[in-house]
Amino acid sequence: MTQIACHRGARLSAPENTFPAFEAALAQGGDVLEFDVRQTRDGVLYVMHDETVDRTTNGTGPIADMTSKEVDALDAGAWFDARFATTPVPRLDAFLDAFKSRAAFYIEVKWADCDAIAQIIHRLDIAAQCYTCSFSEQMHLDMLRAAPDVAQMVHWRRATPETLIEKFDASIVEFYACNDAKNDFTLENVRAAQAAGLATQVYSDTVSPALFAQIRDWGVGCLNTDHVSAFHTFRTSQDSPKAP
């Protein structure tokens, strides 16, 4: 059965990359918690997508220029709904520790000390339930060096399957399903990845029964989505995969 990676948690139900969003994601049937990692000026790791805190907190400025004391004081929930007022920006170690017995983790490294990330993963003994990715080649290779026991995911459009494996030591590949030129989610590509021994994941931010059926029928391992409950409802109501 295709697993569900919850993109920044259940970000349509609660403020993204916060404890309420991750709790909601699991309640809606999610399996993997997807989140982003950034670092403060004093080296503390936080779950945060944007380079600045402006969009998702009551603060302003780059998180890399702030101290952990300043980030801990931010409100990361009121922008979404008053019900979530005073929700903090999660520290990476506290977040992983809180959810380690309940989920797997898809870690997107934005810009951070990869050795520090690896130390937390190893201290919590969760390497087997994590996989990492980064749009930064430097971060990807730094993470591979720091935690070779953690699975690496790379986006399909980066290179051929052989290069993904040889250069990035990738064991998972992610496709992008959309209605424009960026789309690389095709049966041909999925079969090429599977033939190379790569696990498969697709990202989509839409609710589409036709796409959901392709994901099921093509044997894709995981869907990275904002619409956790929609795909959970689909997969629990379906019959066995149909050969394309």
The 3-class secondary structure across 197-214, one letter per residue, is CCEEEEEECCCCHHHHHH
pTM over 0.85: yes
Segment 40-64 mean pLDDT: 99
> Residues near 155 by Cβ (< 8 Å), separated by ≥ 6?
133, 135, 173, 174, 175, 176
Contact 201, 153 (CB under 8 A): yes
Cα dist. 182→84, 155, 156 in Å? Answer: 35, 12, 11
Rounded to 5, what percent of the chain is helix, strand, coil? 35, 20, 45
Contact 63, 48 (CB under 8 A): yes
pLDDT band per the 50, 70, 90 thresholds, residue 195: very high
Distance CA 124, CA 131 (A): 15
Report the mean per-residue pLDDT for the chain. Answer: 96
Segment 147-167 mean pLDDT: 93
Distance CA 46, CA 63 (A): 9
More confident: 239 or 100: 100
- pLDDT tens, position by position, 123-151: 999 999 999 999 999 999 999 999 999 99
More confident: 180 or 104: 104
Distance CA 209, CA 173 (A): 23
Domains of the chain: 3-236 (3.20.20.190)
DSSP labels, 45-99? EEE--SSBSTTTSS--SBGGGS-HHHHHT--SSTTT-GGGTTPPPPBHHHHHHHH
Contact 177, 151 (CB under 8 A): no
Whether residue 244 is predicted with pLDDT greater than 60 in this model: the reply is no
